[in-house]
């Protein structure tokens, strides 16, 4: 091994230490501080905040909401992104390049802009409700935003491009010849997909799923704006505590709790992906 | 001729280029036929049309009288051995071989028994639980063969199946596949660009060139009586000597030749290197064909020696068994051969 190789890591290491590790350590320190009667933070080494946060039933509800929303958004996004990625991976069409760009285009648009787009589509006077009402299928507008449904739709769309890229990267083991072999052995295209293509793409699915889940868990803008203040998740609560309530210790405890949760889930996804690649 | 496997007027084009041009072929039950040709000649496309992996534009495919041209691949019951073997990496050897049986709904106990038999047939008994990547190239090849054979296919199709093996193993597998094919009496179509494979493994050879079948016949036919110049040059090696006409007589490299005039204005004569012999320049040769030249180079190839001779009309190679005395490089020499070993074709347009 080249001894100078670690030098190449130096710029990135400095950057990560300065931008990520240091603030995280500060956050960790804040978690042990206390809040005085005036609302000001008092430096201390206390476990009171930690105890309070985990004794509060609301924390459990936030966790449940975050996990459920992320799981449903990830599952939905997988269902949509998997066929799309498979098509992009396979096609020889000259539209492949443009189509791939369209598929990841949402990544390039600001989250706020995207959310306002959804409000225009899903709102009470939005595209969907106007069309359904003018056709006469419904009399009153469907509640599609400022609730669980709206957040799920928004999250699904925002994580799809990332998952499409992850799936495309993970499809390396897929081989057209293997499907042809399955066909020659008597498997219909659908059976061949179930017995060959799907099992071989499980590692990619685990990877993309892990990524989508983590992104959903840490999403703030989408649950905040499409939830309309009625959908509470860990990310929105951390922000509320830090800004509105200026309760830094609670915000810090919740942030570190979320981080640990995510790291655990990422590790699980990694393990699953490796086990499935065997 | 009617056969067990019949291709009639098969045609396939990709955009502007015609991959397979009206190919017709009848193969008897239990017969092994090689589709031999250079890459891009349409042999693999033909095989893939048989397996149902490519749709022909025109033509029909019949097996045992039944038209299967439009039948989807998974209903054709053909065994296909892929060039890359295409073993399923996520399944054990046993599950790979049993794949076709599972798809056919064979009972679990029967699958186990038949997979065991198939593994024994290809001398891999005991490797049931291995994964494909834990096997050598030769073993993977055997698994692919067992997987194709275990379903009792009506036809066995092999696509360049030996080209990924090293030379020694290839020799062994050649004989093994041939003996399995004969013992199972299975109709086999074998795509290859390797003439030795075609000559040794098959009852008949169909030489393909630019999407068409240039000649079909027994290995002896193809080698001794090539129907086209392409066949003569692709199967085995041949020296091409330009013949000229001079006052009614035929001359090669300036020397008059005792042969009949085929009547064409100009033509090449092809001769196999091992059908030529060398003799001292002064020695008479009676009524044999003969040219004069100089030894340019000698190459020892183990069981034979190749002598490169240069003359007024170019160069030619003479192949001799090793062990005899050889002329020194640079000496003047005569090359002679029998007129009946001439391979003469009309000056072709292509």
> What domains sit in chain B, N to C, each tagged with a CATH number?
5-234 (3.40.50.300), 239-344 (2.40.50.100)
Kindly state whether residue A51 falls inside one of the protein's structural domains.
Answer: yes
Reply yes or no on whether the pLDDT at A62 is more than 90.
yes
Q: Report which DSSP code applies to B71.
A: S
Reply yes or no on whether the pLDDT at B267 is more than 90.
no
Q: Which two tokens stand for residue B347?
A: 């000056």
State whether residue B164 sits within 8 Å of chain A by CB.
no
pLDDT digits (tens, 9 = 90+) for A212-267: 999 999 999 999 999 988 899 999 999 999 898 889 999 999 999 999 999 998 89
Helix, strand or coil, per DSSP, at residue A85? helix
Å from A174 to nearest chain B CA? 10
Question: Which pLDDT score is estimated for A205?
Answer: 93
| Average pLDDT value for residue range B90-117 | 96
Phi, psi of B202 (to 5 degrees): -130, 155
Pairing of strands B17-27, B332-337: unpaired
Does A186 contact B88 at a Cβ distance shorter than 8 Å? no
Question: Which pLDDT score is estimated for A245?
Answer: 86
Count of domains observed in chain A:
1
Total Cβ atoms within 10 A of residue A29: 13
State whether residue B114 sits within 8 Å of chain A by CB.
no
Chain B residue with Cα closest to A194: B103
Which residues contact residue A145 at a Cβ distance below 8 angstroms, ignoring those fewer than 6 apart? Answer: A118, A119, A122, A123, A126, A226, A228
The answer to whether the CB of B224 falls within 8 A of the CB of B306 is no
Question: Could you tell me what percent of chain B has a pLDDT over 90?
Answer: 67
Does B80 contact A196 at a Cβ distance shorter than 8 Å? no
The answer to whether the CB of B305 falls within 8 A of the CB of B322 is yes
Q: Which residues of chain B neighbour A185 with C-beta distances below 8 Å?
A: 74, 99-100, 103, 147-148, 151
Q: Which residues of chain B neighbour A175 with C-beta distances below 8 Å?
A: 86
Does B74 contact A177 at a Cβ distance shorter than 8 Å? no
- Give CA–CA dist A249/A42, Å, rounded: 10
| Average pLDDT value for residue range A119-145 | 90
Question: Which pLDDT score is estimated for B349?
Answer: 47
pLDDT digits (tens, 9 = 90+) for B208-234: 999 999 999 999 999 999 998 899 999
Q: How confident is the model at residue A278 (pLDDT cuts 50, 70, 90)?
A: low
Question: Which pLDDT score is estimated for B25?
Answer: 95
Number of A/B CB contacts below 8 angstroms equals: 64
Does B90 contact A185 at a Cβ distance shorter than 8 Å? no
State whether residue A29 sits within 8 Å of chain B by CB.
no
Nearest to A208 by CA among A66, A86, A67, A64: A86
Give the sheet arrangement for strand B255-257, strand by strand.
Answer: B255-257, B249-252, B239-246, B267-271, B343-344
Nearest to B68 by CA among B45, B52, B81: B52
Å from A263 to nearest chain B CA? 29
CA angle, residues B317, B318, B324, in degrees to nearest 5: 140
Reply yes or no on whether the pLDDT at B28 is more than 90.
yes
Which one of A35-44, A61-70, A221-230, B314-323 scores highest in mean pLDDT?
Answer: A61-70
- Give CA–CA dist B211/B308, Å, rounded: 34
- Give CA–CA dist A82/A79, Å, rounded: 6
Which residues contact residue A101 at a Cβ distance below 8 angstroms, ignoring those fewer than 6 apart? Answer: none
pLDDT digits (tens, 9 = 90+) for B120-130: 999 999 999 99
Question: Which pLDDT score is estimated for B281?
Answer: 84
Reply yes or no on whether the pLDDT at B350 is more than 50.
no
Kindly state whether residue A86 falls inside one of the protein's structural domains.
Answer: yes
Burial of B317 (0-12, 13-18, 19+ CB in 10 A): buried
Nearest to B273 by CA among B316, B315, B331: B316
Helix, strand or coil, per DSSP, at residue B342? coil
Does B88 contact A178 at a Cβ distance shorter than 8 Å? yes
Reply yes or no on whether the pLDDT at B2 is more than 90.
no
- Give CA–CA dist B109/B149, Å, rounded: 18
Kindly state whether residue A41 falls inside one of the protein's structural domains.
Answer: no
**Preferred mutation among B51, B72, B73, B157 to probe A, highest tally of A CBs within 10 A:** B73
Question: Which pLDDT score is estimated for A40?
Answer: 83
Q: Which residues of chain B neighbour A191 with C-beta distances below 8 Å?
A: 74, 103
Which residues contact residue A130 at a Cβ distance below 8 angstroms, ignoring those fewer than 6 apart? Answer: none
Does A183 contact B73 at a Cβ distance shorter than 8 Å? yes
Nearest to A175 by CA among A199, A200, A195, A194: A200
Helix, strand or coil, per DSSP, at residue A215? helix
3-class secondary structure for A105-118? Answer: HHHHCCHHHHHHHH
- Give CA–CA dist B290/B283, Å, rounded: 11
Nearest to B72 by CA among B93, B52, B95: B52
Total Cβ atoms within 10 A of residue A44: 14
Q: How confident is the model at residue A2 (pLDDT cuts 50, 70, 90)?
A: low
Q: Which two tokens stand for residue B183?
A: 């013992």
Q: Which two tokens stand for residue A74?
A: 């990830």
Find where tokens 């997979």 sit: B115
For the stretch B271-299, what's the b/e string if a residue is b when 16 or more beta carbons lie within 10 angstroms of its beta carbon?
A: bbbbbbebeeeeeeeeebbbbebebeeee
Per-chain mean pLDDT for chain B: 91
Does B52 contact A196 at a Cβ distance shorter than 8 Å? no
Per-chain mean pLDDT for chain A: 91
Total Cβ atoms within 10 A of residue B227: 15
The answer to whether the CB of B145 falls within 8 A of the CB of B177 is yes
Question: Closest partner residue to B80 among A184, A192, A199, by Cβ?
Answer: A184
ipTM: 0.86
The residues in A 172-191 lying below 8 A from B, measured between CB atoms, are 173, 175, 177-178, 180-189, 191
Å from B292 to nearest chain A CA? 55
Does B103 contact A173 at a Cβ distance shorter than 8 Å? no
- Give CA–CA dist B90/B92, Å, rounded: 7
Which residues contact residue A137 at a Cβ distance below 8 angstroms, ignoring those fewer than 6 apart? Answer: none
Q: What is the rounded radius of gyration, in angstroms, for the C-alpha atoms of chain B?
A: 25
Q: Which residues of chain B neighbour A176 with C-beta distances below 8 Å?
A: none
| Average pLDDT value for residue range B40-67 | 95
Question: Which pLDDT score is estimated for B283?
Answer: 82
State whether residue B132 sits within 8 Å of chain A by CB.
no
Chain B residue with Cα closest to A188: B74
The answer to whether the CB of B289 falls within 8 A of the CB of B252 is yes
- The domain containing residue A207 runs over which residues? 47-277
Question: Which pLDDT score is estimated for B348?
Answer: 58
Question: Could you tell me what percent of chain A has a pLDDT over 70?
Answer: 99
Does A182 contact B99 at a Cβ distance shorter than 8 Å? yes
Chain B residue with Cα closest to A181: B86
Å from B77 to nearest chain A CA? 7
Question: Which pLDDT score is estimated for A110?
Answer: 87
- Give CA–CA dist A6/A12, Å, rounded: 11
Pairing of strands B277-280, B332-337: antiparallel
Question: Which pLDDT score is estimated for B347?
Answer: 67
Q: Where are the alpha helices (DSSP H) in chain B?
A: 43-51, 93-103, 108-121, 137-149, 167-184, 195-201, 219-224, 229-234
Q: Which residues of chain A neighbour B87 with C-beta distances below 8 Å?
A: 181
- Give CA–CA dist B83/B53, Å, rounded: 15
Question: Which pLDDT score is estimated for A3?
Answer: 65
Does B73 contact A180 at a Cβ distance shorter than 8 Å? yes
**For position A231, which CATH number holds?**
1.10.3720.10
Question: Which pLDDT score is estimated for B121?
Answer: 92
Pairing of strands B17-27, B5-14: antiparallel
């Amino acid at each position: 091994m080249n001894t100078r190789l670690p030098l190449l890591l130096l710029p990135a290491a400095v950057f990560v230490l300065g931008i990520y590790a240091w603030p995280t350590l500060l956050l960790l320190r804040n978690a042990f501080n206390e809040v005085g009667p005036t609302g000001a933070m008092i430096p201390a080494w206390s476990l009171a905040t930690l105890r309070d946060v985990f004794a509060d039933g609301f924390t459990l509800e936030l966790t449940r909401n975050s996990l459920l929303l992320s799981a449903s958004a990830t599952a939905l996004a997988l269902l949509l992104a998997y066929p799309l990625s498979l098509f992009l991976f396979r096609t020889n069409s000259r539209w492949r390049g443009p189509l791939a760009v369209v598929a990841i285009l949402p990544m390039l648009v600001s989250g706020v802009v995207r959310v306002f787009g959804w409000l225009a589509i899903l709102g009470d006077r939005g595209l969907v409700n106007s069309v359904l009402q003018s056709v006469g299928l419904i009399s009153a507008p469907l509640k599609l935003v400022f609730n669980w449904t709206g957040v799920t739709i928004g999250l699904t769309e925002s994580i799809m491009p990332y998952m499409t890229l992850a799936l495309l990267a993970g499809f390396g083991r897929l081989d057209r010849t293997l499907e042809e072999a399955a066909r020659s052995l008597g498997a219909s295209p659908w059976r061949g997909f179930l017995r060959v293509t799907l099992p071989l793409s499980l590692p990619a699915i685990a990877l993309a799923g892990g990524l989508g889940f983590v992104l959903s868990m840490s999403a703030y803008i989408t649950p905040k704006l499409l939830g309309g203040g009625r959908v509470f998740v860990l990310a929105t609560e951390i922000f509320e505590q830090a800004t509105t309530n200026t309760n830094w210790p609670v915000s810090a405890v919740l942030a570190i709790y979320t981080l640990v949760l995510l790291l655990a889930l990422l590790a699980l996804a990694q393990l699953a992906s490796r086990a499935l690649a065997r | 001729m009617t056969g067990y496997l019949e291709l009639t007027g098969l045609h396939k084009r990709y955009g502007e280029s015609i991959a397979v041009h009206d190919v017709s072929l009848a193969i008897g039950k239990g017969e092994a036929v090689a589709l031999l040709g250079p890459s891009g000649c349409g042999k693999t496309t033909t095989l893939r049309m048989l397996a149902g992996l490519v749709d022909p534009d025109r033509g029909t495919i019949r097996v045992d009288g039944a038209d299967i041209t439009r039948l989807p691949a998974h209903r054709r019951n053909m065994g296909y051995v892929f060039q890359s073997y295409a073993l399923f990496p996520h399944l054990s050897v046993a599950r790979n071989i049993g794949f076709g049986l599972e798809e056919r709904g064979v009972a679990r106990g029967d699958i186990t028994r038949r997979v065991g038999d198939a593994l024994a047939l290809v001398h891999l008994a005991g490797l049931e639980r291995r994964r494909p990547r834990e096997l050598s190239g030769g073993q993977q090849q055997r698994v692919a063969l067992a997987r194709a054979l275990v379903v009792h296919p009506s036809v066995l199709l092999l696509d360049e199946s030996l080209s990924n093996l090293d030379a020694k193993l290839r020799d062994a597998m050649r004989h093994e596949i041939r003996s399995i094919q004969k013992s199972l009496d299975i109709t086999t179509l074998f795509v290859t660009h390797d003439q030795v494979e075609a000559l040794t493994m098959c009852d008949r050879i169909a030489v393909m060139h630019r999407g068409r079948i240039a000649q079909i016949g027994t290995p002896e036919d193809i080698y001794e009586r090539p129907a086209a110049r392409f066949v003569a040059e692709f199967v085995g090696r041949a020296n091409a000597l330009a013949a000229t006409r001079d006052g009614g007589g035929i001359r090669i490299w300036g020397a008059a030749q005792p042969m009949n005039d085929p009547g064409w204005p100009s033509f090449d004569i092809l001769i196999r290197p091992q059908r030529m012999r060398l003799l001292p320049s002064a020695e008479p040769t009676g009524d044999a064909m003969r040219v004069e030249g100089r030894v340019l180079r000698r190459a020892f190839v183990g069981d034979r020696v190749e002598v490169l001779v240069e003359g007024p009309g170019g160069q030619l190679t003479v192949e001799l068994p090793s062990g005899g005395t050889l002329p020194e490089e640079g000496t003047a020499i005569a090359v002679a051969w029998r007129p009946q070993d001439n391979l003469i074709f009309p000056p072709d347009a292509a």
